[in-house]
Amino acid sequence: MNHIETIICLLLLFMGVPDLCRRVLKRPALIYSVFVLFGFVFGPVVDPSVSTMLKQAGRVGFLLLLFEVGLEIELPKVKELIPPFKMAIKWALLQYPIILMLAHVTGLDLQESLLAAAALTGCSVGMGYHAWKNYHGLSSETRINILRIMVLLEMLAIVLLSIETVALEKGFGWMVGFKLLGIIIVLILISRFAIHVETLFEQIVAKTTQWRVHLLVLLVLAICAIGERLGLSSAKTAFFLGLFMSRTRHEGMKLEDIIAPISQRLLIPIFFFSLGLSISWGMLFSWIGVFAMSTGFLLIGYRLVLQRHLVKTGGPEDSYLLFCPNLTMVALAASVLLEQGGSREIAAWILLTGLFMTVPAVMMLPAPIKNSMDKDNSDEHEATGFTPSSETEPVEVAK
């Protein structure tokens, strides 16, 4: 397909995929997964120059995705996080041996295996939030605890992915320590200027109308560019900027709701679509695809064993499925591998494994009820320190 035909197909996907997932499948959390699948389908027929263009645009979507992942997280007091943090660490570490073994069988080296383990043990909170909200049979305390574990698994995955990116480039050694130092520096710098940046964001939102969305996205990208010029990773800058901006509101709307026309409805879908383009269509039906499917189902089954015997959430037996959607995390890991010139087969295995975990888990979880909001939503937000991402659908947060 030439560039015009590709753009026509993309526009049709932008219009059709959300309706397909929300109205037909009743699973809005599958939107990004479907874009990846369409990337697989269109890969063989898209012109290479057009594919390159989409991958470059997808890199901007990648930064906005990280920014929105940061916006998802609003942490409560530290003492309230200690019990769920211990459970999240235990949940993740118990899966590392089996993931490392499977990664070794696939042909990954140690650094790549650890990258895969960090991504596959992560959790895409925005995908699981509405299922969590509609999940029955949970006490108030258990419900809050499960959500905090989901958030901590996401944070843990982001931090580990950031560290292991350097391990891929330089190997294990003193550079990993510098990576940790770099993360601390980014945290200090962004937290130091967070109040001023937040004020600037609020002024843009309050005083602009026609160009509000464009100016907000421009400011996010400008800060990422400055971070890159200062020697900091633009990806880390985007994530931690979102983390410190997560409480910014305008008339009950979060920042990701405001920038959704450019981020969630354009650039982020292009990022996931370009990931599908980056992986050969034939891999889906090769041993890579078969082994990825087997790995995904095996990990889901292993997590059921963990839930029954080792890391009990306190909820029903299938509540562990809330921790399984991880497409955002595996997409970040696959993107890192492809950007660093890693093997396409390895990136495909990680991405497909996450896809075969996310889609079944989302389909088995309760479907979100349209316009259903718990009456105690504001109390819930106060207790959990978390409000939903619009990755699934916009939700108005009580003032």
| Inside any domain, residue 150 | yes
Q: What is the pLDDT of residues 270-282, one digit of tens each?
A: 999 998 998 887 7
Confidence band of 391 (pLDDT split at 50, 70, 90): very low
| Inside any domain, residue 233 | no
Once rounded to an integer, what is the mean pLDDT over residues 351-374?
Answer: 80
Among 302, 295, 323, 13, CA closest to 145: 323
Total length of the chain: 399
| Inside any domain, residue 120 | yes
CA 89, CA 365: separation in Å to the nearest integer? 23
- At residue 253, the 3 state secondary structure works out as strand
Query: What residue numbers bound the domain in which 51 lies?
Result: 3-170+258-384
Per DSSP, what are the bridge partners of residue 250?
253
- CATH of residue 35's domain is 1.20.1530
Counting the structural domains of the chain, the total is 1
Percent helix, percent strand, percent coil in the chain, to nearest 5: 75, 0, 25
Quick one: CA dihedral 199, 204, 205, 206, positive or negative? positive
Q: What is the pLDDT of residues 198-240, one digit of tens each?
A: 777 878 877 777 788 898 899 899 988 987 887 667 887 888 8
Provide the token pair at 285: 């039906």
| Inside any domain, residue 176 | no
- At residue 250, the 3 state secondary structure works out as strand
| Inside any domain, residue 220 | no
For residues 96 and 375, which has the higher predicted lDDT (pLDDT)? 96
pTM of the model: 0.82
Residue where the block lists tokens 């010139």: 341
Burial label, 301 (beta-carbon count in 10 A; 0-12, 13-18, 19+):
exposed
CA 365, CA 320: separation in Å to the nearest integer? 10
| Inside any domain, residue 344 | yes
Quick one: CA dihedral 116, 120, 124, 125, positive or negative? negative
